[in-house]
Amino acid sequence: GYGGAIYNDGTLTVDNSTFTNNHAALEGGAIYNSGTAVVNFNRIIGNSTNPSGSTNAISNNYGTVDARYNWWGSNTNPSANISGSDVSYDPWIVLTVTANPTAINIGGKSNITADLLHDSNGVYHDPVDGHVPDGIVVNFASDALGTVNPLTGTMINGEASSIFTAGLNPGISTITSTVDAESVNTDVTINSAAPPVVTSTSPVNNAVDVDLNKVIEIVFDKNIQLGMNPWIELYETGTGNTKTFTTNILDNVLSITPTSLLALGTQYSVILHSNSITDMGGIGLAAPYTTRFTTEAAPVVTSTSPVYNAFNVALNKVIQITFDKAIQLGTNPWIELKTSNSGTIVPYTTNIIGNVLSITPNSLLNAGTKYTVILHSNSITDMQGNGLNTPYTTIFTTTLPPVVTSTSPMNNEVNVAVNKVIQINFSKAIQLGTNSWIELKNQYGQIKPYTTSINGNTLNITANAAFARGTTYTVILHSNSVTSTGGAGLTTPYTTKFTTTTT
């Protein structure tokens, strides 16, 4: 007859089924078709016809058969199992075996997976979309370099797995997977037993400015675990004071988390002692591993303007204090600006740009006065909140008022030329004050118009017209009419007189 398992002259769909050892007297050891048939993801093995007939598993006559994606018991082309035209059988399912990982150490393990999820073109087929029937037996075997367990498995959703365990010798082991008449191999490289090696640390060795809440991470060249003797140390390098911590391992990364903040500006040492860390096969560190780092320090003053103990500081000086890093006001921003002798507080405002603190008095400072600036502990911090450990103090003295050292003409001089330019010399460079009230008048109190100019420490007073002959003139520089370039003005009026020539 025709069709050892199925005779179809209509429409047929069959998948996820097994056709084994079926027989037909004439054609179609498994399936005879003269209609439309879709036959996918089946196991078709050992079907036959009489020796005098066609030797085939699927025979098609006057119809079409989609016979792709079937397992025929081997990876070879299944065309010998087909007779008739209009039968699509290419691609077909092939046996594949893989190892993960493909390289392990002595005593290590690798997962071996055999599957019937790939076709002869190398395309993977998700079992959600169809797969060969469950229960297909898979046999696993290895060479002398290792063992597989289990030796036999059954496929579920098109695959079955075993575990390869490496022996004590390095080399390349070949693992074999057999399904029906097909055997395929995969290789696993067995490396000599080598201890785990540190590849990087965070912070790096000898790092500085490390955050006080830093989680220390040590990365190895392979997955690791704590050893039987997990002796790990974290301590202050200088004092030997130990720091408590917890550990965590994720794959090849060891994390060491201090249970409290690290100390400011302190060098720490981390020591992983021998065998404190091992690989997954139990191979431990052969020798201790040490790394060191230094935590961030409190901000440090690098310069001040005015400099410490400066003199002749301008009365309108904005005090600037520069640090070694960017700063901010602390939660306790206690900053003092006061006179050094009496302790009188000077009101001010502050401003910070980057690493510079500016202190601006609300009004002019007093002339010839010593001032003290105190930045108290934690009044200034870095951007991570690390504050000054101890108060910082700087002092300076403001400029003195200018003093008249000479005049031309001299006080009470007579026979002065009527076109004389009056010159008043001071002890320091000067400028006109905000209250530049200067009087030039005769003995009758009549004001003489004039212009002024300044050259360094000399004030020039030039009358707009010639002086009257035989007349006494008085020059009065009122308080603050002239100041030093730092803003310190005359504290009391200065007066000088002269009398012009009669000829």
Q: Is the pLDDT of residue 89 over 90?
A: yes
Domain with CATH 2.60.40.10 in the chain: 95-191
Query: In angstroms, rounded to a whole number, what is the distance separating the alpha carbons of residues 373 and 363?
Result: 16
pLDDT > 70 in the chain, percent = 99
3: helix, strand or coil = coil
Reply yes or no on domain 198-295 having CATH 2.60.40.1220.
yes
Residue 161 and residue 98 in contact, taking contact as beta carbons nearer than 8 Å:
no
In which residue are the tokens 């002259």 written? 9
- Yes or no: say if 360 and 351 are a contact pair by the CB < 8 Å rule: yes
Q: DSSP per residue over 119-185, as a string?
A: ETTS-B--GGG--PPTT-EEEEEE-TTEEEE-SEEE-BTTEEEEEEEE-SS-EEEEEEEEETTEEEE
User: Residue 54: pLDDT band by 50, 70, 90 thresholds?
Assistant: low
CATH top-level class for 404-500? mainly beta
Cα 114-115-121 angle, rounded to 5 deg = 125
Report the pLDDT averaged over residues 63-78: 98
Could you give the angle at the alpha carbon of 95 between the alpha carbons of 92 and 97, nearest 5°? 145
Q: Which residue ranges does the chain devote to CATH 2.60.40.1220?
A: 198-295, 301-398, 404-500
Q: Is the pLDDT of residue 85 over 60?
A: yes
Question: Does residue 476 come out as left (phi exceeding 0), alpha (psi in the -120 to 50 range) or beta?
Answer: beta
Picking from 42, 52, 38, 46, the residue whose alpha carbon sits closest to that of residue 4 is: 46
Q: What is the DSSP letter of 250?
A: E
Residue 394 pLDDT exceeds 80 = yes
Res. 170 pLDDT band, cuts 50 70 90:
confident
Write out pLDDT tens, residues 414-437. 999 999 999 999 999 999 998 799
E strand segments, 205-353: 207-210, 216-220, 224-226, 232-236, 245-250, 253-258, 267-272, 277-279, 289-295, 301-305, 310-313, 319-323, 327-329, 335-339, 348-353
Residue 74's identity, in one-letter code, is S
Query: Rounded to an integer, what distance in angstroms lies between the CA atom of residue 191 and that of residue 188?
Result: 10
**What is the β-pairing status of strands 356-361 and 310-313?**
unpaired
**Model confidence pTM above 0.75:** no
pLDDT-derived band at 193, boundaries 50, 70, 90: confident
For domain 301-398, the question of CATH label 2.40.10.120 is answered with no
Parallel/antiparallel/unpaired status of strands 319-323 and 43-45? unpaired
The average pLDDT across 61-80 equals 96
Is residue 175 a contact partner of residue 185, using CB atoms and an 8 Å limit?
A: yes
Mean pLDDT of 116-128: 98
- Cβ atoms of 117 and 159 closer than 8 Å: yes
Fold that domain 95-191 belongs to in CATH:
Immunoglobulin-like (2.60.40)
Mean predicted confidence (pLDDT) in 6-34? 95
Give the amino acid at 180.
D
Structure-token pair, residue 81: 């199992």
Q: Residue 361 — very low, low, confident or very high, per pLDDT cuts 50/70/90? A: very high
